[in-house]
Chain A
Amino acid sequence: MDINLTIFGQMFAFAVFWWFCAKYVWPLFMNVMNERRQKIADGLEAAARAQKDLELAQAKSTDQLKEAKAQAATLIEQANKRAAQIVEEAKDQAREEGKRIIAGANAEIEQEVNRAKEALRAQISSIAVAGAEKILERSIDKAANEEMLNKLAAEL
């Protein structure tokens, strides 16, 4: 076996290659690998978080739906109540209006009656005087009679 200077050449080359590998090659891949491991870990974590978020959102949406239903039910109930109230109020108003109209009509009728009475009163004295003149055909003290007749008309 011929051992010679080649052995030292190889030892030196080995040292240089080792140094180069440790300084310029190994860290490149180490960084890439670590970066990728980190990315994968982050991705998994994000997925887990998203899953949890989804569950929370689902629970929240169910709650909200329930709440909305309850609110709608309340609103419908309130609306019904209000409608009934409005109908009730309208009825009351109509009743009052009716009463008022009836009262107005009654008052008018009374006025008409009074007016007719006045007219009748105004005419009745002359009718009575004319009747009496026809019956008595005598001289009657017109003034005294008139006073009497007026008293009579006032009594009517």
Chain B
Amino acid sequence: MAELAEAAHAVAEHGAEGQSVQEYIQHHLSYLTYGRFPDGHWGLAHTPEEATEMGFMSIHVDTMGWSLVLGAAFLLFFRYIGKRATSDTPNGIQNFVESIFEFVEARVNEGFNYKNAYVAPLCLTLFVWIILMNFMDIIPVDIIPEIAMAIGGIWGLEHMSFKIVPTTDPNITMGMSLSVFVLILYYSIKHKGIGGFLSELAFHPFGKWMLPFNLIIEIPTLFAKPISLGLRLFGNLYAGELLFLLIAALLGAYQLPAHFVWAVFHILVIPLQAFVFMMLTIVYINAAHESHDH
């Protein structure tokens, strides 16, 4: 309950600062950015404008940091449980971890028809990592940013943005989907050869006399895979986050009941999107292993 009171207090403060709803949301959608200033030196951006000026040569410290923390927490926790796991009757926490493990293993066994010991760990990593990153959405929107601003105030960053949901950052979701894309290309070329891979693009689905049409169809299809994969996850979580922000901005201190109601709906989206990402990864990588020998 202390957290809830703190969140309510934080929103009340925003009201006192006279921020408009638009400013409030804008502030929450900005990142804590570390990058190269136009004059060449590296440092933290103090305003969204500075961050925009940095352009490509910058990094989102907040989302990247949370992504790393959550991924590392997941792996270390699983490893800790795995170390103590017995093949006798498992205890509660081992049961929980094993059920996740078995769930992922079953999905991989169903959807992936080739021998590749690295695909299942890939899917486990993606699934649990994305769930954890998505779950950051459930935490009331002001708690952690307020704490961060309080700490940042020490270095004169009292207005800094601090975004805690990594999957609302397209860099994070596209980073993962591009990795999957690299794997699609790698396994396609490994199992079909460069020629096989290119002929799949050129001679399907209409045969070699319709080569231009085939390319027009197949190349966008290929590139649509990572883009749709990354943007689907980003879009779902961004929309969810935006609604939480809207609730917080409009209702202020009274946000919590509405926050709770939306969280109940949103909690369905969180594992679903992780599941969809994992399933599509399995399907894509399975297709990459398939060779059409005509």
Interface residues of A (CB under 8 A from B): 1-11, 13-15, 17-18, 20-22, 24-26, 28-29, 32-33, 35-36, 39
Contact = CB atoms under 8 A, between A and B. Distances in A.
A123 to B, nearest CB: 122
A9 to B, nearest CB: 5
A32 B98 CA distance: 9
A151 to B, nearest CB: 129
A23 B182 CA distance: 20
Contact of A17 (B59, B117, B125): B125
Interface residues of B, number: 50
B124 A25 contact: yes
A3 B175 CA distance: 10
Contacts of A4: 33, 35, 54-60, 171
Contacts of A3: 56, 170-171, 174
What 9 pairs between A and B have smallest CB-CB spacing?
Answer: A10-B175, A28-B82, A6-B171, A35-B87, A22-B121, A26-B121, A36-B87, A21-B121, A7-B171
Interface in B31-73: 31, 33, 35, 51-52, 54-60, 63-64, 67-68, 71-72
Nearest to B173: A10
Interface residues of B, dominant DSSP: helix
B32 to A, nearest CB: 11
B86 interface: yes
Contacts of A35: 87
Query: Of B54, B75, B86, which is in contact with the most chain A CB atoms at under 10 Å from its CB?
Result: B75
A35 B57 CA distance: 50
Given A10-B67, A28-B79, A33-B98, A5 B85 contact: no
B176 to A, nearest CB: 6
B64 A6 contact: yes
